[in-house]
Amino acid sequence: MLTLAEKILFALAALASLYAAYRVAERILAIIRRGNGKPDWKAALQRAVPTLVRVAALTPTFRLRPAASLFHAFIAWGFIYYLVVNLGDVLEAYIPNFRFLGMGAVGGVYRFLADLLSVAVLVGMLAMIVRRWILRPATLTAREDVLLHPQARQGIRRDSAIVGGFILLHVGARFLGQTFRIAHEGADAWQPLASVVANLWAGASKTGLLVGEHLAFWFALGAILAFMPYFLYSKHLHLFFAPLNFLLKPQRRSIGELSKLNFDDESIEEFGVTRLEDLGWEQLMDAYACIMCYRCQEVCPAYNTGKVLSPATLEINKRYFLNLEGAKIAAGEQSSQTMLEFAISEEAVWACTACGACIDICPVGNEPMRDILDIRRALVLMENNFPEQLATAFRGMERTTNPWNISPTERMKWAEGLDVPTIDENPEPEILWWVGCAPATDGRAQKTAQAFAKVLKAGGVNYAVLGQNEQCTGDSARRAGNEFLFNELASANVELLNEVAPKRIVTTCPHCLHTLKNEYPAFDGHYQVIHHTQLINELVAVGKLKLKEQSGDGTGKAAVTFHDPCYLSRHNKLVDEPRHSLQSAGVELLEMPRKGMKSFCCGAGGAQMWKEEEHGVERVNANRFKEAQATGAGVLAVGCPFCMTMLNDAGKEANSEMQILDIAEIVAARLQE
Q: How far apart are CA 101 and CA 263, in angstroms?
A: 61
Do residues 630 and 414 touch, judged by C-beta distance below 8 A?
A: no
**Domain annotation covers residue 85:** yes
Query: Do 611 and 639 reside in the same domain of the chain?
Result: yes
Query: Do 516 and 606 reside in the same domain of the chain?
Result: yes
- How many structural domains compose the chain? 3
Q: What is the 3-state secondary structure (H, E, C) of 535-580?
A: HHHHHHHCCCCCECCCCCCCCCCCEEEECCCCCCCCCCCCCHHHHH
Question: How many Å separate Cα 61 from the centre of its chain?
Answer: 12
Describe the strand order of the beta sheet including 588-589 as a list of residue ranges.
588-589, 559-562, 635-638, 659-662
Q: 3-state DSSP call for residue 425?
A: coil
Picking from 330, 348, 383, the residue at the C-terminal end of a domain is 383
Residue 277 per-residue DSSP state: G
Query: Do 196 and 238 reside in the same domain of the chain?
Result: yes
Closest CA to 300 of 74, 70, 142, 445: 142
**Domain annotation covers residue 254:** no
Do residues 261 and 271 touch, judged by C-beta distance below 8 A?
A: yes
Single-letter residue type at 461? V
Position 203 scores a pLDDT of: 86
Residue 251 per-residue DSSP state: P
Query: Do 63 and 203 reside in the same domain of the chain?
Result: yes
Position 556 scores a pLDDT of: 54
**Domain annotation covers residue 259:** no
Q: 3-state DSSP call for residue 311?
A: helix
Position 514 scores a pLDDT of: 98
Grouped pLDDT means (10 residues each) for the chain, 673 residues? 92 96 96 94 90 94 96 96 96 94 95 98 97 94 95 91 95 97 93 96 91 95 94 90 95 93 90 97 97 97 98 98 95 97 98 98 97 98 97 96 93 95 97 96 94 98 97 97 98 98 98 98 98 98 87 63 98 98 95 98 97 97 98 97 98 97 97 83
Query: Do 567 and 420 reside in the same domain of the chain?
Result: yes
Do residues 508 and 436 touch, judged by C-beta distance below 8 A?
A: yes
Question: How many Å separate Cα 215 from the centre of its chain?
Answer: 44
Single-letter residue type at 303? Y
Q: How far apart are CA 553 and CA 556, in angstroms?
A: 8
Q: How many residues does the chain have?
A: 673
Closest CA to 478 of 516, 528, 432, 439: 516
Q: How far apart are CA 622 and CA 615, in angstroms?
A: 14
Closest CA to 315 of 371, 272, 275, 258: 371
The secondary element (H helix, E strand) that includes residue 429 is none
Do residues 523 and 494 touch, judged by C-beta distance below 8 A?
A: yes
Strand 559-562 and strand 529-531: pairing? unpaired
Closest CA to 235 of 162, 179, 184, 148: 162
Do residues 463 and 508 touch, judged by C-beta distance below 8 A?
A: no
Q: How far apart are CA 143 and CA 139, in angstroms?
A: 10
Picking from 383, 401, 428, the residue at the C-terminal end of a domain is 383
- Supply the angle between the helices 238-248 and 281-289 in degrees, to the nearest 10: 150
b/e sequence 20-41, b meaning 16+ C-beta within 10 Å: ebeebeebbeebbebbeeebee
Query: Do 446 and 578 reside in the same domain of the chain?
Result: yes
Q: How far apart are CA 606 and CA 10, in angstroms?
A: 56
Query: Do 101 and 51 reside in the same domain of the chain?
Result: yes
Cβ neighbour number for residue 370 with a 10 Å cutoff: 25
Residues in contact with 389: Cβ distance below 8 Å, sequence separation at least 6, in sequence order = 610, 611, 612
Query: Do 309 and 401 reside in the same domain of the chain?
Result: no
Domain that holds residue 371: 276-383
Q: How far apart are CA 43 and CA 671, in angstroms?
A: 47
CA-CA distances (angstroms) from residue 431 to 450, 463, 504, 538, 577?
17, 5, 5, 13, 18
**Domain annotation covers residue 266:** no
**Domain annotation covers residue 88:** yes
Position 557 scores a pLDDT of: 74
Which CATH number belongs to the domain containing residue 332 in this structure?
Answer: 1.10.1060
Q: How far apart are CA 519 and CA 525, in angstroms?
A: 8
CA atoms lying within 13 Å on the CB side of residue 622:
13
Position 550 scores a pLDDT of: 61
**Domain annotation covers residue 185:** yes
Query: Do 222 and 288 reside in the same domain of the chain?
Result: no
Do residues 305 and 616 touch, judged by C-beta distance below 8 A?
A: yes
R_g of the chain computed on alpha carbons: 29
Describe the strand order of the beta sheet including 463-465 as a list of residue ranges.
463-465, 431-434, 505-507, 529-531
Picking from 197, 231, 248, the residue at the C-terminal end of a domain is 248
Do residues 533 and 539 touch, judged by C-beta distance below 8 A?
A: no
**Domain annotation covers residue 328:** yes
Query: Do 661 and 541 reside in the same domain of the chain?
Result: yes
**Domain annotation covers residue 143:** no
Cβ neighbour number for residue 52 with a 10 Å cutoff: 13
Beta-bridge partners for 638: 662
Do residues 316 and 290 touch, judged by C-beta distance below 8 A?
A: yes
Query: Do 132 and 220 reside in the same domain of the chain?
Result: yes
Q: What is the 3-state secondary structure (H, E, C) of 45-90?
A: HHHHHHHHHHHHHCHHHHHCCHHHHHHHHHHHHHHHHHHHHHHHHH
CA-CA distances (angstroms) from residue 217 to 116, 176, 181, 205, 224?
19, 9, 11, 18, 11
Query: Do 193 and 54 reside in the same domain of the chain?
Result: yes
Do residues 182 and 191 touch, judged by C-beta distance below 8 A?
A: yes
Q: How far apart are CA 78 and CA 168, in angstroms?
A: 12
Do residues 342 and 348 touch, judged by C-beta distance below 8 A?
A: no
Q: How far apart are CA 166 and CA 23, in angstroms?
A: 22
Do residues 364 and 354 touch, judged by C-beta distance below 8 A?
A: no
Residue 603 per-residue DSSP state: S
Do residues 39 and 248 touch, judged by C-beta distance below 8 A?
A: yes
